Amino acid sequence: MSDRRDFMGMALGAFTGLGALGALYAAKRTWDPLPSIKAAGFTTIDVSKAEENVLYTEMWRGKPIFVLKLSKDAKPSDAPNGNNANAYDDKRLITINGHKFFIAIGLCTHLGCIPAYFPEEHKFKCACHGGEFNMAGEVLKSPPPSPLVIPPFTIEGQKLVLGESGPEYKKLLAAGVVA
Amino acid sequence: MAHFDPNARPFSNKWMNERLAVDTLKRVLSTEYWIPKNINFLWAMGMVLAATFGVLLISGIFLLMYYIPDTKLAFDSVNYTIMSEVGYGWLWRHVHGVAASVVFLIIYIHMLTGIYYGSYKKGRELIWISGMLLFVSFSAEAFSGYMLPWGQMSYWAGMVITNLFSLGSLEFNGLVEWIRGDYVPGQAFLGRFFMLHVLLMPLIIIGLIVLHFGTLRMPHVNNKDGEEYDFDAEAEKWKAGKRKESKVIPFNPVFLSKDVFVLGIYFILFFYLVFYHFEFAMDPVNFDPADPLKTPTHIYPEWYFLWSYEILRPFSKDIGLIWFGFAQVIFMLLPFLDRSPNVAPANRRRPFRCWFWILVVDMIVLTIMGKLPPTDPTFALIGKVAAYTFIGLWIALPFITMKEKLVGGKK
């Protein structure tokens, strides 16, 4: 008698367990980003008219994207890599039509606030928790743990296409300076 | 065995007792639930909290009728429709906002009362733990509610707090995107936080309140001297008519009448705030609609989260996260970190008395520093020292309480 009841109990437990696992998986998938959100996502930015040392903010996948054309005399103060002489040589910069550009996702790597650009100091400063970055997005002052993130891009003439990994992006990726 | 008197008048006392045991319920839950006499107004804070939760629930029901959880419409549905079109919509909003802020003040008083009188040990551990679970749930409820008007503070608080789940250098960005349902807070984010705020969190909170009351039943509430009572014997004295001699009173109607008096004073202050000073609960920055391309110049949480925010802020990302996590769970462990056998008010427990008051002052300092911008180095330093003090206090607690001498109850 009790064997039969044990069996019923175990059978019920097993089926409910399976059902619970299935329901948990469905719940997890319901919270996933929708396919339409994941698929949305190539932004083209024309940089031909960009002026030197003026920060342009574009939007890609809902995030702000910084585009900054560097002036020839740009000197980020206290660059962490000792590159004080001229920001022009930084590995994280990209060249479009002979000009050096810095592009990055404009969210502080600490907790995601948008740092403001101070053109006279050539610095990004975050108002939330006091983090600072140089013109190449490298950290000058904690708390941000890592440089500003460079999004996947490809260069088409004087245009930047975000969301696609072009050869220049792959080069940065190989050099380990992207993230 | 069920016996139903066929002659009992419908809904008469007898008829109800046979079907619902109303007299037994009333006796067990209220008229023979015993409360010590030796208490003060701080013992009414539980009922003040329950009443405030009721006020939040009722005002929330009215707000829910016009609020629209859509990123394009949410801001106007609150700031235009509810505030200027709906009859008395402003009243529900101000009641809801003020109550959400004040409820944390009362929670902190309730918590500190428990710490001061040692009401978390010797059988009262579960009261403390269920209470701390309520604090965590109220925090989640407050945060999810703060998202709903979809103003600048809503959006950027949502951004910053969900980013905490990347767990620093572990870079769990997939988890953050999963929580948001998007790369940044958007429609999916607003929809799910709306659900959490109006359904799931309130259900959890109501369940925890029942549990919290349940955990009180066996150990009973503490008293001003931490004295251990024989509740059965004291109850017998009361029931035998020796009311002066008995150390206890029944919850209903004797204790409840004192509760209602404190509630009366509380609600005078509460409605003074609702009608004349509601602005303290309404951050001006949140009257700008959410803008993903512009961070407000200075982001800070509501006042009740400032102390733990200040434990996060002065450190580098990973260290800050570790201490922030520490601050979130450490109160939960209080019954096990306090090694002393004494259940007594803090003023009779020597090193613990200092510990308690340093903790109170330190949390106030953290709260003030958390509100200030991160740019001033002096204040940043004070904040850092206060954060280290907080951590140090909790690490020191087991050691200073281990050596504590046994103190008697009332002298």
pLDDT in tens, B63-109: 999 999 999 999 999 999 999 999 999 999 999 999 999 999 999 99
Residue of chain B with shortest Cα separation from A27 = B178
Residue B397, CA atoms < 13 Å, CB-side half-sphere = 20
Of B164, B293, B318, the CB nearest to A59: B293
| Confidence label for B411 from pLDDT (cuts 50, 70 and 90) | very low
List of residues 6+ apart from B394 with CB closer than 8 A = B326, B330, B337
ipTM score of complex: 0.76
Highest-scoring range by mean pLDDT, A85-89, B77-81, B375-379: B77-81
- Residue labelled with tokens 């064997």: A3
Boundary-marking domain end, from B299, B322, B354: B299
Residue A177 has pLDDT above 80, yes or no: no
Same domain, B222 and B185: yes
In a 3-state reduction of DSSP, which class is residue A155?
strand
Percentage above 70 pLDDT, chain B: 99
Amino acid (1-letter code) at residue B70: D
- The reply to whether residue A127 touches residue B297, judged by beta carbons under 8 angstroms, is yes
Per CB-CB distance under 8 Å, the chain B contacts of A143 are 313, 315-317, 320
Q: How is residue B65 annotated by DSSP?
A: T
Residue in A138, A92, A131 with CA at minimum distance from that of residue A111:
A131
- The reply to whether residue B317 touches residue A110, judged by beta carbons under 8 angstroms, is yes
* Cα–Cα distance, B262 to B24 (Å, whole number): 28
* Cα–Cα distance, B3 to B202 (Å, whole number): 39
- The reply to whether residue B295 touches residue A34, judged by beta carbons under 8 angstroms, is no
A40-43 LR contacts (CB < 8 Å, sep 24+): A41/A162, A41/A163, A42/A161, A42/A162, A42/A163, A42/A164, A43/A161, A43/A162, A43/A163
Same domain, B275 and B340: no
pLDDT of residue B408: 62
Residue B58 has pLDDT above 90, yes or no: yes
* b/e map A25-59, b = 16+ CB within 10 Å: eeeeeeeebeeebeeeeebebebeebeeeebbebe
Q: How far is A144 from chain B (nearest CA, A)?
A: 6
Cis peptide leading into residue A80 (ω within 30°): no
B169–chain A Cβ distance below 8 A for any pair: yes
A24–chain B Cβ distance below 8 A for any pair: no
Please name every residue paired with B154 in a beta bridge, in sequence order, or none if there are none.
none
Q: How far is A177 from chain B (nearest CA, A)?
A: 16
B325–chain A Cβ distance below 8 A for any pair: no
Same domain, B283 and B193: yes
A64–chain B Cβ distance below 8 A for any pair: yes
Q: How far is B47 from chain A (nearest CA, A)?
A: 36
Same domain, B253 and B182: yes
Same domain, B52 and B113: yes
Same domain, B7 and B19: yes
Amino acid (1-letter code) at residue B223: N
A110–chain B Cβ distance below 8 A for any pair: yes
A142–chain B Cβ distance below 8 A for any pair: yes
- Residue labelled with tokens 């920055």: B285
A84, A143 in Cβ contact below 8 A?
no
List of residues 6+ apart from B153 with CB closer than 8 A = B146, B283, B285, B286, B296, B299
Other Cβ atoms within 10 Å of B3 Cβ, number: 5
Write out the E strands in A24-174.
43-46, 55-60, 63-69, 94-96, 99-105, 116-118, 123-125, 132-133, 139-141, 153-156, 159-162
CATH code of the domain containing B236: 1.20.810.10
B177, B188 in Cβ contact below 8 A?
no
Same domain, B195 and B65: yes
Q: How many domains, in total, are found in chain B?
A: 3
Q: How far is A145 from chain B (nearest CA, A)?
A: 6
Boundary-marking domain end, from B266, B299, B332: B299
* b/e map B130-141, b = 16+ CB within 10 Å: bbbbbbebbbbb
For B313, list phi and psi in degrees, rounded to 5. Answer: -70, -40
The lowest-confidence range among B68-82, B90-104, B160-174, B231-245 is B160-174
Same domain, B104 and B160: yes
Per CB-CB distance under 8 Å, the chain B contacts of A116 are 295
Same domain, B102 and B228: yes
For range A6-21, the mean pLDDT: 94
- The reply to whether residue B168 touches residue A32, judged by beta carbons under 8 angstroms, is no
Residue of B172, B183, B299, B379 for testing the chain A interface, max A β-carbons within 10 Å = B183
The lowest-confidence range among A96-100, B354-358, B389-393 is A96-100
Residue of A65, A108, A129, A133 for testing the chain B interface, max B β-carbons within 10 Å = A129
- The reply to whether residue A128 touches residue B295, judged by beta carbons under 8 angstroms, is yes
Of B180, B293, B316, the CB nearest to A142: B316
Percentage above 90 pLDDT, chain A: 15
- The reply to whether residue B316 touches residue A59, judged by beta carbons under 8 angstroms, is no
* Cα–Cα distance, B298 to A113 (Å, whole number): 10
Amino acid (1-letter code) at residue A139: V
A63–chain B Cβ distance below 8 A for any pair: yes
Same domain, B317 and B389: yes
* Cα–Cα distance, B70 to B242 (Å, whole number): 63
Strand ranges across the sheet with A159-162: A43-46, A159-162, A153-156
B159–chain A Cβ distance below 8 A for any pair: yes
Residues in chain A: 179
Q: How is residue B287 annotated by DSSP?
A: G
What is the per-residue pLDDT across B256-301, written as a single tens digit (0 to 9) for each? 999 999 999 999 999 999 999 999 999 988 999 998 888 887 888 9
Other Cβ atoms within 10 Å of A85 Cβ, number: 9
Per CB-CB distance under 8 Å, the chain A contacts of B186 are 37, 62
Same domain, B27 and B57: no
Boundary-marking domain end, from B283, B299, B315: B299
* Cα–Cα distance, B85 to B110 (Å, whole number): 38
Task: Quote the pTM value.
Answer: 0.86
* Cα–Cα distance, A100 to B313 (Å, whole number): 34
Q: For chain B, positions 278-317, list CB contacts with chain A under 8 A.
A: 292-299, 313, 315-317
Percentage above 90 pLDDT, chain B: 80
Same domain, B245 and B327: no
Residue in B187, B209, B210, B191 with CA at minimum distance from that of residue B199:
B191
- The reply to whether residue A129 touches residue B313, judged by beta carbons under 8 angstroms, is yes
- The reply to whether residue A37 touches residue B159, judged by beta carbons under 8 angstroms, is no
Q: How far is B290 from chain A (nearest CA, A)?
A: 12
- The reply to whether residue A31 touches residue B160, judged by beta carbons under 8 angstroms, is no
Instruction: State which residues form the domain around B368.
Output: 303-411
